Structure 1
């Protein structure tokens, strides 16, 4: 059974475990129920930011229940997927690693988009590939797009 922990940060910058739930499934309606129940327990205090994996059902539930919260993807999950998907790309394109790193580590939106244009122009990624999906989801994980939301790491 999936486990959903709710962890936050206290005023002294210490982690605090608010709640946890075992879920029957990982469907959008289950996450919506979970988030609405959490809100009741928290006296309708909405979170400012939420960090999750890249699950679409969670993302859709966040948009429904917490529409003003900033949704971020967990960097651990991003790195895990990067290891999994970058291998075949480096096998196919021997010189992709350096431009890929520049793209991912970009601090400015314009720089990020410029590096993307260079990458996608040179390597011609398939429209549904992992890397093009990561570009579409950039506002959830890319440093350049997350500068306006403070999170403790």
Structure 2
């Protein structure tokens, strides 16, 4: 049974995961990124299991070659282009589409990175309404999520 100290520690770990570096994004329900992040912060496998509501076996698997280390190898080549942290407010520039005007800049909050083949994108939550001719962004509203190419991010 967790005592008061353990409960506070678990809550602190959960909060750390909400604003962890984007490099530790979770790409699936197994929470590989969160597992890797908390492990590198010095938490035990048991503490990680409690904070992420995973079985100890799942935590151990996440720390093996098919878990977070594999994900890290895939995204590492993009790490210098990624925004720093989940939850960061960033500027994105949506390019013009056809003859429908100039590029549009807007603000968004970072949710996670997403790999597709040999490229990388971002899942963001828009902080403003966006209406552009670009098909994936047409009539997007504040708080909508969008998947954008990494090169739309303006550091």
Q: Bin the TM-score by the shorter chain.
A: under 0.3
Q: TM-score, normalised by structure 1?
A: 0.23
Report the structure, 1 or 2, having the larger strand content: 2
- Of structures 1 and 2, the one scoring higher in RCO (CA 8 A, sep 6+) is 2
